[in-house]
Amino acid sequence: MTRTFGQDRSVVEHRLTRATLRRILAFARPYRGRLTVFLALIALEAAAGAVTPLLLQTLIDDGIADGRTGLVLGIAGAVAGLALLQAGLSVADRWVSAGIGEGLIADLRRAVFDHVQTMPLAFFSRARTGSLVQRLNGDVLGAQQAFTSTLQNVVSNSLTVVFVLAAMLSLSWQLTLVSLVLLPVFILPARWFGHRIAEVTRESYVLNAEAAQTMTERFNVAGAHLVKVFGDPARESASYGAQVEAVRDVGVRRALYSTWFRVGLTTVAAVAVAIVYGLGGVLAIRDQLTVGVLVALTAYLNRLYGPLSAMSNVQVDVMTALVSFERVLEVLDLQPTVTDRPGAGDLRDAVARRGADVELDAVGFRYPDASGVGLASLEGVDGGRGDAAGDTLVDVSFRVPAGQMVALVGPSGAGKTTISQLVTRMYDPTRGAVRVAGEDLRDVTQESLRATVGIVSQEAHLFHDTIAGNLRYVRPGATDDEIWAALRQAHVGDLVAGLPDGLATVVGERGYRLSGGERQRLAIARLLLKAPDLVVLDEATAHLDSESEAAVQAALDTALAGRTSVVIAHRLSTIRQADLIVVVDGGRVVQQGTHASLLAEGGLYADLYRTQFATATAA
C-alpha cells in the first residue's frame, strides 16, 4: 500500500498516444499465453479468498448452531483446503509473473543495449552515462511492472472488490451500505498521507542521487587522485556528511508518514469492524441476522478496504509503469546517423584487390546539432549546448597510397581529429566523400570497416579486466602465444612477463594500475593483435615523457610497418619521415608535402616546426 501511495502523481497528467500503447503491447505479444495463465491464476486466487467467509458463515449457522459435528469438520477441512489452494495459486502466479517480468526485462535491456551501440559518437559525447544506465535499469524495471505487479494489483484488487461486495450484499445489504458509507473516512486521509509520502519519496530520490553522485565522482580512480592531491578530507567528510544527514532526515519523515498512514488504515478499519459488530449484533439479537452472517461480514471488511484504497490510486500506478515504458521507447526511437545502406559491400574485398589507400575528396563537415543525435532528458541540460557554429571542415582533399603514412598537423582546433573520425566513420561527411580502397565508406558495411581499421588514441582506454582480456577484445579467439607475440612487438613483453600474474594481471579501471607509456604500448599490442590494414593514430605520444615516448615510438614503428596510416602528430619530430604531411588550419588544407619540401616552402608548417624546435632547444 505504501508503495502505491509513494508514486509520483505528476505522471497522471501525462498522455500516451495510441501508437505508443500499441508498441508497448507489442513487447508483451511473445508472452500473451503466459499472461492469460497469469490472469486466470489471479482470478482463481481472488475467488478462493472470497469463498472462505461464506464457508465460515455456514460453519457457524448450520454447523455449530445445529450441533452438526460432521458438517463443522467438513467445512473446517474445506477452509484449510482453500488456504492451501490459495498458497499454491500465489506461488504459481508469482512463478508465472516472474517469468514474464524477467523475460521483459531481458528483452528491453537487450533492445536498448543493441540500439545504443548503433548511435554515433556525438550521442555519447552528449549523454550522461548515469542517465543512460538509468534507462537500462530503473526505467526498464518500471516498464516491466506494467505487465506484472501493476497488472496483478489492478486485476486482483478489482476482482476482489467485485467478489467481496457481491458476497456482502447477498448476506446483508444494510450492513454493506453502512460499510461503504464509511469508505470516504478511510480513503480521504489515506490519499492525504499518500500525497505527503509521494513528496518525501521524490525528495529522497533527489538526495540519494546527489549522495551517490558524490561517491561516484570521489571513488573512481581519476576523482580519487584529484581528491588526494587537492582535497581536504575534513571538508569532503563534512560535505558528504551533510548529504547523508539530509537523507536521514527525509527518511525519518517518510517513516513517520508511512506509520501514520498504516495506523490510520488499521484504526479506521477497526472502527468499521466495531460498527458492523455493534449494528450486526443488535440485528442478531433481534433475529434479523445470524451470528455466522455477522462473522462473515466482518471478515469481508478486512478484504474490502485495502483493495478499494489501492484502486483509488490505480491511475498513478498504471501511468508510472507506462511512462517508464515510454522513456525506454524514447531511446529506441533515436535514429543512428551512421548506418549501412541496403546492399552495402565488404571493404575487405576491395582492400584485398588494391590495398588500403585513403582518399578525402572535397570533404566538408559540420557536427550535427543536439536534436539530431541526442535526447535532452539524457543530457540533463539544454541539448543545444556545444553545437558547432559553422563548418568544421571545408573542401578537404588529399590521398595517401596503400602502405604509406599521411601525417595531419596544425594548431589546436584545426580539424585534425575530425578528419580521423571521418576516416574511421564515426561520422559521415556533410559534403564530398571519404574513400578507402576506392570505396566510399558509406557504401560498405560498418562491420567490414571495423575489421579493416585500427586506432590508437592519446588516451588509450583499457577495460577493468586482465591484460589478456583487454587484448582479446579485438580477437576473441587469439591464443596466448599470439598475445605474447603482439606484446613483444609492442616492446612491452618483458614488462608483462615480469608481473606476478603475467597475462592474468588486472589492469584496473581505465588501466590506471599501469603508467601512461605502458597503457599506450598495451594499446599498440592490441592493435598488432588485430592486424588491421589501416591504422589511425591520434596523438598517441602527446602526453608521454621522453623515455616513454621513445618506447612507444619504437612500438609504433613496428605497428605501422607495411600498413597505411593516418597519424595526428603534436610533436612534429615524430612525423618527419611521413610520406605526406597535410597541414590543416581552420578546417582547410593549407599545405601538403614532405617534411623537407614544407620547410623549404615556408608557411604554417615551417612556423610550427621552428616554434617547437626553439622550445625544445630552450628546454
Q: Identify the pLDDT of residue 188.
A: 67
Reported as a single tens digit per residue, the pLDDT across 310-357 is 676 666 667 667 777 777 777 887 788 888 899 999 999 999 998 999
Strands 393-400 and 358-365: antiparallel
SS3 250: helix
Which pLDDT band, with edges at 50, 70 and 90, does 268 fall under? confident
Q: What is the pLDDT of residues 284-317, one digit of tens each?
A: 888 888 888 888 888 888 788 778 766 766 666 6
Rounded Cα distance, 140 and 328, in Å: 7
- The confidence score (pLDDT) of residue 8 equals 46
Tens digit of pLDDT for each residue in 3-12? 443 444 444 4
Instruction: Give the tens place of pLDDT for each residue, 571-608.
Output: 776 788 889 999 999 999 999 999 999 999 988 989 88
DSSP letters spanning 432-468:
EEEEETTEEGGGB-HHHHHHHEEEEESS----SSBHH
* Nearest Cα residue to 577 out of 412, 413, 407, 347: 407
Res 88: pLDDT: 93
pLDDT at 194: 63
Mean local confidence (pLDDT), 235-252 = 87
Q: 396 pLDDT exceeds 80?
A: yes
Strand ranges (E), 74-232: none
pLDDT in tens, 155-190: 888 888 889 889 888 888 888 888 777 677 666 666
The pLDDT assigned to 227 comes to 74
- Alpha helices of 364-423 — where are they, by DSSP H? 370-373, 376-379, 416-423
Contacts 24+ apart (CB under 8 A), 60-69: 60/290, 60/291, 60/292, 60/295, 61/290, 61/291, 61/292, 61/293, 62/292, 65/290, 65/291, 65/292
Mind spelling out the 3-state secondary structure of 256-300?
HHHHHHHHHHHHHHHHHHHHHHHHHHHHHHCCCCCHHHHHHHHHH
CA quadruple 244, 247, 252, 258: dihedral positive or negative? negative
Average pLDDT over residues 467-496: 90
Point out the least confidently predicted range of 152-156, 374-378, 470-474, 582-586. 374-378
d(CA 343, CA 341): 6
Q: Rounded to whole angstroms, how far apart are CA atoms 284 and 420?
A: 90
User: Which pLDDT does position 84 carry in this prediction?
Assistant: 93
CA distance 196 to 199: 5
Question: C-alpha angle with apex 465: 550 to 505, nearest 5 degrees?
Answer: 65
SS3 at position 559: helix
Distance of CA 580 to the CA centre of its chain: 44
Query: Which pLDDT belongs to residue 3?
Result: 43
* Most confident of the following: 245-249, 371-375, 454-458, 568-572: 245-249
**DSSP 8-state code for residue 306:** H
* Cell output for 422: 571521418
Residue 241: pLDDT over 60: yes
Model pLDDT, residue 5: 39
Q: What values do phi and psi take at 440, rounded to 5? A: -60, 130
User: Please, what are the domains in the chain?
Assistant: 12-332 (1.20.1560.10), 347-370+389-618 (3.40.50.300)
- Check residue 437 and give left, alpha or beta (phi > 0: left; psi -120 to 50: alpha): left
pLDDT in tens, 413-433: 889 989 999 999 988 999 999
Q: What is the pLDDT of residue 546?
A: 66
Does the pLDDT value for residue 112 go beyond 90?
Answer: no
Q: What is the overall mean pLDDT for the chain? A: 81
pLDDT at 381 over 50: no
State residue 156's pLDDT score: 86
Percentage of the chain beyond pLDDT 90 is: 21
Is the pLDDT assigned to residue 615 strictly greater than 70? no
Nearest C-alpha neighbor of 454 from the set 336, 576, 559, 348: 559
In the predicted model, is pLDDT for residue 2 greater than 50?
A: no
